[in-house]
DNA sequence: CCGGCAAAAACTGCATGCAGAAATAGCATC
DNA sequence: GATGCTATTTCTGCATGCAGTTTTTGCCGG
């Protein structure tokens, strides 16, 4: 089961993206899935063999992951999946609050019905879903869609990109168990933000978003120990 | 006139950092100095010849500069120094405001006399300097030191890193002429922030910092056309 | 059974070769 | 002179070789 879409052999169309990016995504997926827990050594040679490419694109992919903060790549020594301390967790949530608060404020003045309606619909659907009926999974999807939509709706490409980076890192240690009650209260906060966005109230959207992330910051840091 | 400190020949001690980083700094310096204006093509082959290294570390350096946003590196085509539009300028200042505002707030509760005293001293020295007596140069140094110190003092390493990135990009198009009067009023704003930091008033520090950066945002965007 | 040490294996970073793509130059045509 | 096409040159991305270093392995003394 080769991980790359296909052998780099002549058959099949040339990859639309660089090999390094393909490798990046392959490794990223393993890290996010938890197949490679923090501290796991990521040898360029091994990945090159596994993915059937040379070491060069693997090396670049590891550099990219290092830039994302998901991999520690000390010069000369082997790369390994980043290990997060409690302080790291705190910092990452602080960054999310700093970035996503203003993003929500900006988005309130920019997002229109075409962008908000799908979120409202998905939110309503979630409200009508039973706990046993894949609610957790749907919540997770909505969380992803919601935060991504706000980041996209803020109108600042750099802000959007940076938010995406920290959400990615966040997903890197997503292994902390989350209980139904907490997710439900988080959803209530999502709805509150959504209300503010629909009303075009930037201040309220920002306050609600910052409050939302601060809650999760406390929740996660608490459970991290 | 080789730009690298020395040939990679056995003589001299091994470089403390990787070749790629050395190349990165060499190219970065040219970009920041304006020797390579926006749109300039950055051929890996040429730089490899010029710096007397192989293409591999140059390639990595260009990737790094691309991650910083100083270089556009479209896959397959040649890299070139990033060209900034008016919107880019606006976005970059918006990011600085979003990041440095909270940083000032955090720093107010964390920076102590040992960190603040040198800034105050440098600020006072600037106030006693005449315009003809290298005032502009000293202002520029102080600006650099001041914002870097606040970023360092916020206690969040990721926030500090991100602020540094955007200040770097900022320096990339520093070519906009600045007049004495504007710099003086900017310095007054710096002093206001410094007062708030010394008083430990986070709210005030944040407000003053956001106001300061918003002023410069308008000033720069205005002059950009 | 564990810590220290030397030999061996494996790996990283850099240099370089090569295939295919992009940029450029040259040339014909309008 | 401007425009479009083609041939040539140049470059990028990837594969691979090599030197130096790190990491692992194997062994010994405690």
Determine the nucleotide nearest to A46 by Cα–C1' distance.
C11
Chain A 21..80 CB hits on strand D (< 7 A): 41, 53-57, 60, 76-78
Higher pLDDT, A130 or A60: A60
Q: How far from the centroid of its chain's Cα atoms is residue B108's Cα?
A: 22
Cα–Cα distance, B33 to B148 (Å, whole number): 20
Helix or strand (DSSP H, E) at B220: helix B202-224
pLDDT for residue A75 is more than 50: yes
Residue A134 — left, alpha, or beta (φ > 0 → left; ψ -120 to 50 → alpha)? Answer: left
Cα–Cα distance, B204 to A88 (Å, whole number): 27
Cα–Cα distance, B24 to A59 (Å, whole number): 17
Cα–Cα distance, B166 to A19 (Å, whole number): 29
Q: Are A155 and A110 in contact (CB under 8 A)?
A: yes
**Distance from residue A14 (CA) to nucleotide D13 (C1'), in Å?**
13
Q: Do B67 and A67 touch (CB under 8 A)?
A: yes
Secondary structure of residue B41 in the 3-state scheme: strand
Per-residue pLDDT at B161? 95
Q: Are A166 and A99 in contact (CB under 8 A)?
A: yes
Strands (E) across chain A are located at 41-42, 71-72, 79-81
User: Among B114, B115, B139, which residue's Cα sits nearest to residue B125?
Assistant: B139
Share above pLDDT 70 across residues of chain A, in percent, rounded to a whole number: 92
The pLDDT of A9-29, averaged and rounded, is: 71
- Across the interface, of A91, A159, A162, the residue whose CB is closest to B156 is A91
Higher pLDDT, A134 or A95: A95
Per-residue pLDDT at A13? 35
Positions in chain B whose pLDDT score sits under 70: 1-16
CB-strand contact B193/D, under 7 Å:
no
- Which contacts of A188-194 are long-range, i.e. CB under 8 A and separated by 24 or more positions? A189/A215, A190/A123, A190/A142, A190/A143, A190/A146, A191/A123, A193/A104, A193/A146, A193/A150, A194/A116, A194/A119, A194/A120, A194/A123, A194/A146
Widest CA span in chain B: 56
Per-residue pLDDT at A16? 59
For residue range A175-202, list pLDDT tens digits in order: 777 788 889 999 999 999 999 999 999 9
Per-residue pLDDT at B120? 96
Per-residue pLDDT at A96? 97
Secondary structure of residue A55 in the 3-state scheme: helix
Range of lowest pLDDT (A29-33, A173-177, A215-219) = A173-177
User: Among B146, B130, B144, B119, which residue's Cα sits nearest to residue B184?
Assistant: B130
Cα–Cα distance, A99 to B158 (Å, whole number): 12
pLDDT for residue A63 is more than 90: yes
Higher pLDDT, B15 or A12: B15
Q: Are A101 and A213 in contact (CB under 8 A)?
A: yes
Determine the nucleotide nearest to B56 by Cα–C1' distance.
C14
Name, in order, each residue with C-beta under 8 angstroms of A34's C-beta and a sequence gap of 6 or more: A174, A175
Per-residue pLDDT at B16? 59
Per-residue pLDDT at B213? 96
Per-residue pLDDT band for A2 (boundaries 50, 70, 90) equals very low
C-alpha torsion angle, residues A95, A100, A106, A110 (rounded to 10): 150
Cα–Cα distance, B217 to B97 (Å, whole number): 9
pLDDT for residue A1 is more than 90: no
CA distance B61 to chain A (A): 11
pTM value is 0.89
Mutation site for B-interface testing, chosen from A72, A158, A217 by largest number of B Cβ within 10 Å: A158
Q: Are A80 and A71 in contact (CB under 8 A)?
A: yes
**Edge-first strand listing for the sheet containing B41-42:** B41-42, B79-81, B71-72
Helix or strand (DSSP H, E) at A180: helix A180-199
Chain B 35..94 CB hits on strand C (< 7 A): 41, 53-57, 60, 76-78
Q: Are B188 and B212 in contact (CB under 8 A)?
A: no
Name, in order, each residue with C-beta under 8 angstroms of A182's C-beta and a sequence gap of 6 or more: A219
């Amino acid at each position: 089961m080769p991980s790359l879409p296909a052998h780099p052999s002549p058959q099949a169309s040339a990859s639309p993206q660089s090999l390094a990016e393909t490798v990046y995504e392959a490794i990223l997926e393993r890290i996010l899935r938890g197949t490679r827990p923090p501290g796991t050594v990521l040898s360029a040679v091994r990945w090159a063999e596994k993915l059937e490419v040379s070491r060069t694109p693997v090396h670049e992919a590891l550099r990219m992951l290092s830039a994302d903060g998901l991999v520690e790549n000390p010069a000369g020594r082997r790369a390994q999946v980043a290990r997060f301390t409690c302080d790291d967790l705190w910092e990452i949530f602080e960054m999310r609050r700093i970035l996503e608060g203003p993003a929500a404020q900006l988005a309130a003045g920019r997002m229109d019905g075409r962008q908000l309606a799908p979120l409202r619909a998905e939110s309503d659907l979630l409200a009508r879903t039973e706990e046993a009926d894949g609610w957790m999974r749907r919540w997770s999807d909505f969380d992803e869609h919601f935060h991504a939509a706000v980041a996209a709706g803020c109108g600042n490409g750099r802000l959007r990109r940076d938010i995406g980076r920290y959400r990615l890192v966040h997903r890197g240690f997503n292994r902390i168990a989350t209980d139904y009650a907490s997710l439900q209260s988080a959803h209530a906060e999502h709805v509150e933000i959504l209300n503010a966005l629909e009303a075009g109230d930037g201040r309220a959207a920002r306050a609600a978003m910052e409050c939302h992330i601060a809650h999760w910051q406390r929740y996660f840091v608490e459970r991290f120990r």
